[in-house]
Structure 1
Amino acid sequence: MPIKIPDSLPATATLEGENIFVMTEYRAMHQDIRPLNLLILNLMPTKIVTETQLLRKLSNSPLQVQVELLHTLSHVSQNTDASHLSSFYTTFDQIKDRKYDGMIITGAPVENLDFTDVDYWDELCEIMEWTKTHVHSTLHICWGAQAGLYYHYNIPKYDLGKKLFGVFPHTVVRKRSPLFRGFDDVFYVPHSRYTENKLEDVLAVPELQLLAVSEQAGVFAVKSQDNRRFFITGHPEYDPDTLANEYFRDVNKGIDINVPNNYFPNDDPTQPPQVRWRSAAQLFYTNWLNYYVYQTTPYDIRDI
């Protein structure tokens, strides 16, 4: 949240020069405030785990957020009980006439498939097209980011050959981006994927801005010039044991999988994971929610 100070205080220019969010008294007095309406399209098979991870990050701010959960009709979930979906989730046909301040489209373990081979691809395309007129700001995560970059900007994904797996250091490219206000010079994010987007493909699209990268993990954060769409290739919302659960699951299945990078102390899976991304993750989601949803969405949601 911003610090509110007198309009003419000399510190205002200094703080703004340091990328600190300052709100003048005039702006504070003329703000209209209401709960934010946020929609989460959960494409992950373990929906309860994913919804809990995201809600944990979205809840740790002073903002009042009303969250709805969305699932696809064109795919039958094998890992989430139907009663949970019917009790807590909605479908696109039920909400397509409504508007939302923000939306999150999660990842999905389908990156080894061509986009058009995913059974809910057509439905997802319809939803992504709908966001252009019905959602103020949409955040795409991991495969959801790859799908969004492909649908909106025709940017392909590429096979990595082996799973990118671990917690990797990142740096901010656009130092004054509000999305990364308060970040350290180097911050860590978990990744778990078999495909990537190439830097040169992103840079070739004038409508996109590259925000953050990793030497090992490549492109991390990209946004549209109009701030309506954000794309991140990692999982800052992951729990401390998420990569461990994936690692042991694959080992038990006999899958050739490396120990996740920068995760277990001394790369020893018998030791508890070392969490080094939690604070950056919280700051990331809070910044998106504050600067790109709350601060800019119309007070009358019908104006989106």
Structure 2
Amino acid sequence: MPLRLPDGLPAIDILKRENIDIEEMLVKKDDKRPIRIVILNLMPFKATTETDFIRLLSHSPLPMDISFLKLKSHTSKHTPQEHMDRFYHTLEEVNKEQVDGLIVTGAPVEDIPFEEVDYWRELQEIFNWAHENVRSTLYICWAAQAGLYHFYGIPKYPLPKKMFGIFPTTPLKLNLPLFRGFDDVFRMPQSCHTEVRREDIDRIDDLEVIAESAESGVSIIRSRSRQDFFITGHMEYAPNTLDTEYRRDLGKRDDVELPKYYYREDNPENGPLVTWRAHANLLFTNWVMGINEM
């Protein structure tokens, strides 16, 4: 499971403790060119999100070169500048070599209109660049909403309360390469205050809903003309992420309830019951394999 990671990245030590053999994952410069994956990390705590995505990508049998993209128009308040300078690159730097796959993470700006997000214009430029230069892009959570709005004009809608939990989800086209090896139902973590609606998506010929949940709604949308996927949830979440969010928001928000289908016996003291990780690993492996087959 070879990966080429930036030397000194904090995720390396964490993944070593999880028995992922990092030494074998680091490939030599003279090896066959690995698939190049770039992650635009919009989350505030960069190192946590880096680890979440690298953990999933490490299950691929293909060699990968993973790097991180930063915004010039936004300064992270929760990650040291030294970390950003060492491990993150501008679009101009990233674009010097072929990029095969792009992952755009969620961001804690759901309640803000897209045009009022301070980095919206730069984000649009990156979306347009990816559309012309990258084989396949995964847009995650808020980024999925942003991508759908930017390319197709699809709006987001506020929810009366937070969609929060691990929801049974149905893949609608099991013959798609993205769902290779999937069961008839999988579970997707959701943590959102806004949503996109199926009726808006169905009006766009280029878009197709390929996974949805009876409780949490549209889950995965794909572009028919490109290998782009818009994922409304967080398959990358670690086992304790929703617990951290729940305890953080207790007493601070009145629209957050106990995450559904998450705690053992619905009791936070019993800890989470992890039910989504196998399909999460499969989803990201299938995505990388699909890029390789293009």
TM-score, normalised by the number of residues in structure 2: 0.87
Aligned pairs for 1:44-123 (under 5 A) are 44-123=43-122
Q: Is the contact made by 1:106 and 1:142 (CA closer than 8 Å) also made in structure 2?
A: yes
Alignment of 1:273 onto 2:269: no
Segment of structure 1 superposing worse, 254-263 or 182-191 = 254-263
CA pair 205-178 structure 1, distance change in 2 beyond 3 A:
same
- Report the RMSD for the aligned CA atoms in angstroms: 1.4
Q: Is the contact made by 1:37 and 1:100 (CA closer than 8 Å) also made in structure 2?
A: yes
Percent of pairs identical after alignment? 47
Match of 2:292 in 1: 294
> In structure 2, how many angstroms separate the alpha carbons of the residues matched to 1:73 and 1:290?
31
Match of 1:249 in 2: 248
Match of 1:30 in 2: none
Question: Tell me, which stretches of 5 or more residues in structure 1 are unaligned?
Answer: 2-32, 297-304
- CA apart distance, 1:255: 4.9
Cα deviation per residue 1:205-254 (whole Å; 9 max; x = unaligned)? Answer: 11112110001111011111133311000001100000000000111546
Q: Which amino acid aligns with 2:293?
A: Q
- CA apart distance, 1:34: 3.3
Q: Which amino acid aligns with 2:125?
A: E
Q: Is the contact made by 2:167 and 2:261 (CA closer than 8 Å) also made in structure 1?
A: yes
Match of 1:226 in 2: 225
> In structure 2, how many angstroms separate the alpha carbons of the residues matched to 1:64 and 1:119?
36
Match of 1:300 in 2: none
> In structure 2, how many angstroms separate the alpha carbons of the residues matched to 1:110 and 1:144?
10
Match of 2:22 in 1: none
Match of 1:154 in 2: 153
Q: Is the contact made by 1:106 and 1:144 (CA closer than 8 Å) also made in structure 2?
A: yes
- CA apart distance, 1:148: 0.4
> In structure 2, how many angstroms separate the alpha carbons of the residues matched to 1:228 and 1:183?
19
Alignment of 1:213 onto 2:251: no
> In structure 2, how many angstroms separate the alpha carbons of the residues matched to 1:80 and 1:100?
25
Q: Is the contact made by 2:174 and 2:182 (CA closer than 8 Å) also made in structure 1?
A: no
> In structure 1, how many angstroms separate the alpha carbons of the residues matched to 2:106 and 2:138?
11
- CA apart distance, 1:97: 4.7
> In structure 1, how many angstroms separate the alpha carbons of the residues matched to 2:38 and 2:82?
20
> In structure 1, how many angstroms separate the alpha carbons of the residues matched to 2:120 and 2:273?
36
* Partner SS for 1:240: coil
* Partner SS for 1:100: coil
Q: Is the contact made by 2:35 and 2:292 (CA closer than 8 Å) also made in structure 1?
A: yes
Match of 1:41 in 2: 40
> In structure 2, how many angstroms separate the alpha carbons of the residues matched to 1:277 and 1:109?
22
Q: Which amino acid aligns with 1:287?
A: N
Cα deviation per residue 1:116-163 (whole Å; 9 max; x = unaligned)? Answer: 111110000000001122111111000010000111111111111211
CA pair 93-149 structure 1, distance change in 2 beyond 3 A:
same
CA pair 98-154 structure 1, distance change in 2 beyond 3 A:
farther
Match of 1:4 in 2: none
- CA apart distance, 1:41: 0.3
> In structure 1, how many angstroms separate the alpha carbons of the residues matched to 2:147 and 2:96?
21
> In structure 1, how many angstroms separate the alpha carbons of the residues matched to 2:174 and 2:60?
23
> In structure 2, how many angstroms separate the alpha carbons of the residues matched to 1:188 and 1:220?
10
Q: Is the contact made by 1:250 and 1:256 (CA closer than 8 Å) also made in structure 2?
A: no
Q: Which amino acid aligns with 2:241?
A: T
Match of 2:283 in 1: 284
- CA apart distance, 1:69: 0.3
Alignment of 1:145 onto 2:144: yes
* Partner SS for 1:239: coil
CA pair 244-155 structure 1, distance change in 2 beyond 3 A:
same
Alignment of 1:175 onto 2:174: yes
Question: Tell me, which stretches of 5 or more residues in structure 2 are unaligned?
Answer: 2-31
